Amino acid sequence: MLAFIQLSPFLLKAKSFEKYHSFHQASILADADNGRILRNYRSQKTIYPASLVKMMVALITLEEINKGNIHLSDSIKVSSWASRIGGRQVYLKQGEVFPLSEMMKAMVITSANDVTVAIAEHIAKDVDTFIKLMNQRAQELGMTDTEFHSVHGLPPGRGQHFDRSTAKDLLILALELLNHPEYLDWASVRLDSFRNGTFQLLNTNHRLMRNYKGMDGMKTGYHRKGGFSLVATAKRNERRFVSIVMGVKSSRLRSKLTRMLLDEGFQKYKQVSLDVQLGMSPLSIEVDKGMESSLRLKTAHPLRVILKENERMKISHHFFLKDRIIAPVEEGQKLGDLEYRLGSVSLGKVPLIAEFGVEKAGFFANFANTLFN
């Protein structure tokens, strides 16, 4: 039996989060394991993401590395255009050469715009082509309310357009990026250096990273029209949450709202192991042309999820399998899925596998089965 910790009124102070709605434009708290949204405030409102767009640059870069198209050891030569980008930068000079590993570190830790342009040019030869890759990947991921018009998120120049996204779309991007643990290896660094130790890289979220237990990412964003935004993630005892706050009026309040969201996750939600006991209520499947006419199924493993105390009893189970199969069947062979749901929300699926193997019957056994069935 699962025992939940009784929370004191002090720990439940996250309920007051609603009073801060007027101080920001959108927010989300989600379970990082399955993307389940635990708290949602105007998550589909279109907002200027500013430097949060660099998360897509990082994702495409890491995917290209995994495909073998580029490597962290690649040398990147700085173009004239990259050297002239404004905003936060590491002051690259035209013609300088750095390995991609150093460039990624500078982009993720300190959000350097000049470095981001150099990376985009290295991958796609020019920035415009890379932006097309960004929008294509966004559509593939289901980020239907996102439009990228830059690789850095700076305010647009004359005749250009603002980048646009939503908290919900950025959650999709964050969850996909978490499939690449090397991103957090950079994002969790509070202080590092660049250009042979002559330039300091200070994490744009260094104060919260230092003071909030378990925080190891992900990305800050700011410009005048978009306000202060932060996609954050923290992990404690195998529980990982993602929080997103957008369009906040100050960086200090941005940190406060992030703390409140993540605190709510860690204080109200407990990780539990869901495992339907099929032995008490056997689930079987008919077997044709086998030495056995049916076989029992079992779950391949439990499903670990994050739940509130009162949600355990509201979970329903849904089985997906065929009525019958044809022998032979191997022990442990996957024959279907068991899905756990909380209301209409899927918490995840686990495979249903054969409890034992069934050999294919010979001619006379099949004849007898046909004769007597």
Per-residue pLDDT of the chain (373 residues; tens, 9 = 90+): 233 323 333 333 445 788 888 889 999 999 999 999 999 999 999 999 999 999 999 999 999 999 999 999 999 999 999 999 989 999 999 999 999 999 999 999 999 999 999 999 999 999 999 999 999 999 999 999 999 999 999 988 888 899 999 999 999 999 999 999 999 999 999 999 999 999 999 999 999 999 999 999 999 999 888 899 999 999 999 899 999 999 999 999 999 999 999 999 999 999 898 887 665 556 888 899 999 888 888 999 999 999 998 898 899 989 898 888 899 999 999 999 999 999 888 999 999 999 999 999 875 455 445 544 5
Q: Which residues pair with 288 in a beta bridge?
A: 326
Q: What is the DSSP letter of 147?
A: B
* Beta-bridge mates of residue 346: 341
Please choose, from the candidates 30, 273, 342, the residue with its C-alpha nearest in 3D space to the C-alpha of residue 175. 30
Q: What's the rounded Cα separation, in Å, for the pair 262 and 14? A: 9
CATH class of 15-268: alpha beta
Helices (H), the chain: 54-67, 80-83, 100-110, 113-124, 127-141, 167-177, 181-187, 206-211, 251-268, 363-372
Q: Where in the chain is CATH 2.60.410.10? A: 274-372
pLDDT at 9: 34
Whether the bond between 328 and the residue before it is cis, its omega within 30 degrees of 0, is yes
Cα–Cα separations (whole angstroms), residue 310 to 35, 36, 159: 20, 16, 53
Question: Which one of 1.10.150.20, 2.60.410.10, 1.10.3720.10, 3.30.230.10 gives the CATH number of domain 274-372?
Answer: 2.60.410.10
Buried b (16+ CB within 10 A) or exposed e, 128-159: eebbebbeebbeebebebbebbbbbbbbeeee
| Cα distance between residue 277 and residue 296, in whole Å | 12
Q: Please state the pTM of the whole predicted model.
A: 0.85
pLDDT for res 123: 97
Looking at the chain, the domain(s) classified CATH 3.40.710.10 span 15-268
Contact 275, 289 (CB under 8 A): no
Rounded to the nearest 10 degrees, the angle between the axes of helix 167-177 and helix 127-141 is 100
Q: Do 27 and 262 touch, CB atoms closer than 8 A?
A: no
**Rounded to 5 degrees, what are φ and ψ at 15?**
-60, -25
Provide the β-strand partners of residue 279.
none
